[in-house]
Amino acid sequence: MTTVFNLNDGHKIPALGFGTFKAADGNEAYQSTLDALKAGYRHIDTAAIYGNEESVGRAIKDSGIPREELYITTKLWNDSHSYDLAKAALATSLKKLDLDYIDLYLIHWPNPKAFRDNWEEANAEAWRYMEEAKEAGLVKSIGVSNFLVHHLEALAKTAKVTPSVNQIRLAPGCYQGEVVEYCRKHDIVIEAWGPLGQGELFGNTDMKALAEKYGKTIAQVALAWSWHEGFLPLPKSVHEARIKENMDFADIELSQEDAEFIKNISGLTTAPDPDNANF
Ligand code: NAD
């Protein structure tokens, strides 16, 4: 996958990433990541909380692909929103992944339960360390995840570096117009997590009809929609055939009318509320 998006800090990011959420540590995460790398993915998305950084790291090593050809993202979990805790968390992720640097490090969640009384300051402090880590070369780029406009505006009050990425839930029937608009305006690349609706699209009759119309699969139409919107999708699968299927959508040219229809499909899960989640 050679297509890339340009980040606002001058780095480039492969326009399709491989998701690893719920890929169990051990053989499942190892084999699926290895299969993805063999199939041609060059961008892997993991997180401290997924508990699979060691297996992902092993697959990266065993793939034999030169480090500079790979793009690796991991994320700071909700228990570590301070300068010192972020420093320790990044060190742990680097160790588990067995890497010298991470391409993209994200604050996973803007308003965790543990910091709900002072989330703004907690984010600012974690970010201050992430800026230093970028300066020191431990990470190439820094960004956020699940941030809404008020979280981004709060961060901007003290940040020296604008986030390069905001990774949010975006899928057919799950659109977050306000934050999408903000990110576009501020040159923040939008990554789509759950781009296949975390599996629920496969039973949707509207998506079935569109897949038939374009002569592709539901997954491929959903991923083509992501690109149509300018999002960077992170599909996950642990099955080799689906891993390959989820790379094969660049030839789909959705009509504007179908793209608009997909955006508004009703009855599908919408985005979580980061200010009220129970974690
Ligand atoms: P997804 O939308 O990628 O759906 C994955 C599920 O769809 C799979 O478990 C499988 O059941 C099914 N599937 C995949 N390909 C298929 C195919 N071709 N045919 C039929 N079924 C198929 O959901 P996800 O894994 O939750 O999200 C993708 C990635 O985004 C994650 O793996 C993770 O890396 C990231 N993510 C980030 C956050 C966040 O808070 N930042 C949250 C969730 C996920």
Domains plus CATH for the chain?
13-197+230-237 (3.20.20.100)
Percentage of the chain with pLDDT > 90? Answer: 99
Q: What is the pLDDT of residue 107?
A: 98
CA 193/CA 45 separation, integer angstroms = 10
Does position 152 have pLDDT exceeding 90, yes or no? Answer: yes
* pLDDT tens per residue, range 13-30: 999 999 999 999 999 999
Q: Compute, in angstroms, the gap from residue 214 CA to the centroid of ligand 1.
A: 22
Check pocket membership of 203 for ligand 1, CB cut-off 6 A: no
Check pocket membership of 235 for ligand 1, CB cut-off 6 A: yes
* Average pLDDT of the residues in 107-129: 97
Contact 189/173 with Cβ under 8 angstroms? no
Q: What is the pLDDT of residue 2?
A: 52
* pLDDT tens per residue, range 41-57: 999 999 999 999 999 99
Residues serving a catalytic function are: 50
* Average pLDDT of the residues in 156-168: 98
Phi and psi for 197 in degrees, rounded to 5?
65, 30
Nearest-CA residue for ligand 1 atom 18 is: 242
Give me the amino acid identity at 68: E
| 3-state SS class at 157 | coil
What are the residue ranges of helices labelled H in the chain? 27-39, 53-63, 83-97, 119-135, 149-156, 177-185, 205-214, 218-229, 240-245, 256-263
Does position 242 have pLDDT exceeding 70, yes or no? Answer: yes
Q: What is the pLDDT of residue 1?
A: 47
Q: What is the pLDDT of residue 264?
A: 98
User: CB-based contacts of 48: which residues, under 8 Å, 6+ apart?
Assistant: 74, 75, 76, 77, 80, 89, 92, 93, 108
**Atom of ligand 1 minimally distant from the CA of 246:** 18
Check pocket membership of 110 for ligand 1, CB cut-off 6 A: no
Does position 244 have pLDDT exceeding 90, yes or no? Answer: yes
**Residue 279 confidence class, pLDDT cut points 50, 70, 90:** very high
Q: Compute, in angstroms, the gap from residue 21 CA to the centroid of ligand 1.
A: 7
* pLDDT tens per residue, range 190-227: 999 999 999 999 999 999 999 999 999 999 999 999 99
Percentage of the chain with pLDDT > 70? Answer: 99
Q: Compute, in angstroms, the gap from residue 193 CA to the centroid of ligand 1.
A: 7
Q: What is the pLDDT of residue 55?
A: 98
